[in-house]
């Protein structure tokens, strides 16, 4: 045993967040240009983690890393190597808690890294099982969308508890992603929606159903490469997400800035109440101008992803 390597990438939910928890479909995209890498090598005595948040022995890992610690310890148990001394380094370009799937991507990079280290074959199914195990430790009851997308090479059509389907995406537009600079609160947002649905089902259930319908229409728009339709559907989804109470002032503001700057549509992405928003534009120049406008409006970081480049991974 010398060394091991595992990588993964960020994800963006194009459409269907929150409704996916209630059995409606969602479409998520891998973002290959935003990478995470885990490397491991044999050490003499200790089990040590090096990351941007924590550098030290695995036993003392801070609360934020406790899920990762438990994942590693379970993997070591699985490989019958609980006392294996190692140095594990995690290098990530993903902002944490912004709805870009940082926890699932970290878990996937680590799982791949340890299977590589122990020279054991890793099927996609086994990878997802371990990633979902980790997501349960960290998030309680996730839909599984993050883990599925962080391990996918194509956009996916996702329905809870079903095998994700690969989607072809051949749309000639640009996705602009902006970080609101505020931590997303996925757990709180999911609980809020659950409470709304419990208290006023007649008011809130139709909004989830509407999101489900919009997601199906987005699939059709993507198949027809109709970016105008896609834009309008994203904006319609934002209206429903706002009505569910999962947007925020800053996210609403960034969506308005996007629409005022030639975006064809805009919405929050992920759990909401912070985190990121997305917008689509027709041309690269518009995407660049929009990205600048979003930064002027307070976005702390922006990314531009040509939609046509996602499916060729």
Q: Does 25 bind ligand PMV (CB under 6 A)?
A: no
* Out of 4, 95, 173, 184, the residue judged to bind ligand PMV by CB under 6 A: 184
Instruction: Mark residues 223-262: x for contact with ligand PMV by CB under 6 A, - for none.
Output: ----------------------------------------
- β pairing state of 55-57 and 47-50: antiparallel
- The phi, psi pair for 49, rounded to 5°, reads -115, 135
Tokens in use for 104? 């699932």
Maximal C-alpha separation, the chain: 62
CB of 22 to ligand PMV, least distance (A): 9
What is the Cα–Cα distance from 71 to 86, expressed in whole angstroms?
15
Q: Is 123 exposed, middle or buried (0-12, 13-18, 19+ CB in 10 A)?
A: exposed
Could you say which residues in the range 93-112 bind ligand PMV, by CB under 6 A? 99, 101
What is the Cα–Cα distance from 290 to 278, expressed in whole angstroms?
11
* Out of 109, 113, 130, 146, the residue judged to bind ligand PMV by CB under 6 A: 146
Closer residue to ligand PMV (CB): 11 or 219: 11
Tokens in use for 255? 């969506």
Closer residue to ligand PMV (CB): 20 or 227: 20
145 contacts 155 by C-beta, under 8 angstroms = no
Tokens in use for 44? 């003499």
- Residue 104 — left, alpha, or beta (φ > 0 → left; ψ -120 to 50 → alpha)? alpha
Q: Does 164 bind ligand PMV (CB under 6 A)?
A: no
Closer residue to ligand PMV (CB): 95 or 184: 184
Q: Does 20 bind ligand PMV (CB under 6 A)?
A: yes
278-236-258-167 Cα dihedral, nearest 10 degrees: 30
Closest CA to 25 of 153, 216, 270, 161: 216
CB of 129 to ligand PMV, least distance (A): 17
CB of 62 to ligand PMV, least distance (A): 20
Closer residue to ligand PMV (CB): 21 or 113: 21
Q: Does 311 bind ligand PMV (CB under 6 A)?
A: no
Could you say which residues in the range 257-276 bind ligand PMV, by CB under 6 A? 270-271, 275
CB of 103 to ligand PMV, least distance (A): 8
In degrees, rounded to 5, the angle at the alpha carbon of residue 17 between the alpha carbons of residues 275 and 142 is: 90
Closer residue to ligand PMV (CB): 4 or 212: 212
Closer residue to ligand PMV (CB): 111 or 145: 145
DSSP at 267: E
What is the Cα–Cα distance from 210 to 15, expressed in whole angstroms?
12
Closer residue to ligand PMV (CB): 267 or 286: 267
- Residue 156 — left, alpha, or beta (φ > 0 → left; ψ -120 to 50 → alpha)? beta
* Out of 143, 149, 302, 305, the residue judged to bind ligand PMV by CB under 6 A: 143
Q: Does 142 bind ligand PMV (CB under 6 A)?
A: yes
Q: Does 132 bind ligand PMV (CB under 6 A)?
A: no
277 contacts 261 by C-beta, under 8 angstroms = no
Candidates 14-22, 165-173, 218-226, 235-243; binding stretch for ligand PMV (CB under 6 A) = 14-22
CB of 267 to ligand PMV, least distance (A): 13
Q: Which residues bind ligand PMV (CB under 6 A)?
A: 13, 17-18, 20-21, 99, 101, 142-143, 145-146, 184, 186, 190, 270-271, 275
């Amino acid at each position: 045993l010398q060394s091991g390597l595992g990588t993964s990438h960020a994800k963006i939910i194009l459409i269907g967040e929150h409704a996916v928890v209630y059995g409606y479909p969602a479409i998520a995209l891998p973002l290959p240009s935003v990478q995470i890498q885990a490397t491991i090598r044999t050490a003499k005595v200790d089990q040590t983690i090096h990351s941007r948040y924590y550098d030290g022995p695995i036993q003392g890992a801070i609360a934020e890393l406790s899920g990762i610690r438990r994942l590693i310890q379970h993997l070591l148990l699985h490989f019958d190597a609980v006392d294996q001394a190692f140095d594990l380094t995690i290098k990530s370009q993903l902002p944490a808690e912004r709805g870009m799937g940082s926890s699932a991507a970290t878990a996937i990079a680590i799982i791949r890294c340890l299977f590589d280290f122990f020279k054991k074959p890793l099927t996609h199914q086994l990878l997802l099982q371990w990633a979902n195990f980790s997501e349960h430790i960290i998030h309680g009851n996730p839909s599984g969308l993050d883990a599925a997308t962080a391990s996918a090479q194509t956009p996916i059509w996702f329905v809870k508890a079903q095998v994700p389907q690969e989607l072809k995406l051949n749309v000639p537009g640009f996705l602009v992603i902006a970080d609101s600079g505020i931590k997303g609160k996925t757990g709180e947002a999911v609980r809020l929606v659950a409470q709304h649905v419990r208290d006023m089902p007649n008011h809130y259930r139709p909004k989830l159903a509407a999101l489900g319908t919009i997601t199906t229409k987005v699939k059709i728009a993507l198949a027809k490469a109709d970016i105008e339709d896609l834009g309008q559907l994203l904006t319609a989804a934002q209206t429903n997400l706002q009505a569910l109470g999962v947007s925020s002032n800053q996210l609403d503001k960034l969506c308005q800035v996007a629409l005022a700057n030639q975006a064809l549509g805009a919405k929050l992405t992920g759990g909401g109440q912070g985190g990121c928003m997305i917008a689509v534009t027709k041309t690269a120049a518009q995407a660049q101008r929009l990205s600048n406008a979003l930064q002027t409006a307070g976005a702390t970081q922006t990314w531009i992803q040509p939609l046509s480049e996602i499916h060729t991974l």
